[in-house]
Structure 1
Amino acid sequence: AQQFSSGNFTGDETTLYAMNKQVGQFIKRFNMEEDQFGKVLSAQDSKYRNEVLRKNVLPNLFDQYNPRTSGTLKNYFIEDVTKKAAPVFLQFLDTNWFAEVSAQFTYKGEPVDLILFLTLEKENLGSKWVLSNAYFNQLNNLFPFADSILQKQYFLHPQSHELDFMNLHKALEDPAHIEYYASQKYQPDYLTLFFYLMKNQQLTFEKIKSVKFHFLQIDHWYFELSYYNRDDMNSGWLISNLIYADEKDKEELLKTFRICTAN
């Protein structure tokens, strides 16, 4: 499991300062709103959101041991978000960034792993984290992918109403394919299924195993944020995956993270 505390950190003071100990600290440093010593900068400070300083700081926010975040793609990303004409900054209340929580539950007496996705939702003058989707392979396997040819074998004739839907028994007596009788736009709601299992005590929470974050609010880019408890300057919350993604790719990712939200 992840360790979110720096209490057992053995590095010197410089290393401890360099560590991104909180997600909020990562965001401030990404924007150059906090210096390398943990001092929050005022908007009047010459270092605040300074373009040159950002270009020096941003490489340190990547996992430097990971080939996915240490190549030329990282340099393109940094150039993109520090453009003088249109620099890009992160905000806590941005839409399209999500938490992914890996947790252990007990299901039918056996330990199982689930993934829960959360997103920020505004409430009154503040905000709160809300569950936006759930992934549990036992549930996802109930709805296997089927090509259109297979699905076309399962339908109710358009004149079924004239027979008082007597042929509906064909669908209801074949639960393995029952979803094929729904609309072509039908998508299973796994979060509701998760709530159902919890409410019926078929699924019992045990512990959180790990947490990471997904950021999609920057045009053409997607990155993941993960925690690394290391004894060097490259530690804490760091960018662990970076992908150049068009809007179509992002829409597919968003279906995973927020399929059950209204957005």
Structure 2
Amino acid sequence: MRLLCLALRIYKTRPLAFKHIIGSIAPQYPSLFASQPFFGAFRQPFVRTCHTTPAKPPFFSSGNSTCYEIINFDKYVDTLREKSQLDVSQFVGIIQKANDFGSGDEAMLFLDECCAKPNNDVVFLVIWELRNLWKLAYLLFKWGEKCKCLEENTWCLMIWILGNHGKFSTAWSLIRDLLQMSIDIQEAVLVMIDRYAAANNAGKAIQTFQIMEKFSMSPDQRILLTFLSTLCKHGFIEEAEQFMFINKKLFPLEIDGFNIILNGWCNIMVDVFEAKRIWREMSKCCIEPNETGLGSRPGGV
């Protein structure tokens, strides 16, 4: 109970900058979706403006350029452990002791005065160890923020953890903070999309992609394909397919998009009938299959 109060007190002290952007999005999500049917998100195509976001190295979970996914936290953790050989148990114990304090200020003072000093890798690894205890992870995150020991992937990890526990409003507040610091939020938004889809809420995942315009962001083909791959990974292949076709004027149909949908029907839903239909759609659209598509080609086609 003390830990819950502590986390809430820390959260209440967060700055309210950019409230006019995200404050009008995250808190109103329920009313946005309640006012329209599930497939309301498909009724209007996505609209892009001339704003663009500079290209950046993607946090793909695979070196394969045809694999469009959000950051693979497991792989990143393994990389850090191999590189640093850090023992995070000491830091985990220190953070757990914060449960004895009744205020955020006292907890931060205790952490500041402890003998252990954080760095970027330690903060990431300890947050990962505490991923099933979001309040403790959030407390460490705030300490890491105070000590300037947060990298972009640590922000994404914290958003991912909050999404796992259904704390989407708090996760949106972190995206607001990234905006305030003029940090690119594309990867963070993709993590939000992934967590909404994992929570079986394709509607919010789709609308999260669509609200990128509110951040003066114009999703490129990589972002779109990562979005489609995320929907398919969580079983929303039909929704991903409809979104791809409805927005084909803004995002021209390409082989990679079809491969993602085809993989969804072949390997996730295992629906040969739908896979054959997608193969025929590719032919109608004059899309030539590549090696990836041929590997997923259903029998009898």
TM-score by length of 2: 0.25
Bigger radius of gyration, 1 or 2?
Answer: 1
TM-score by length of 1: 0.28
Between Structure 1 and Structure 2, the one with more helix by share is 2
Between Structure 1 and Structure 2, the one with more strand by share is 1
Higher relative contact order (CA 8 A, sep 6+): 1
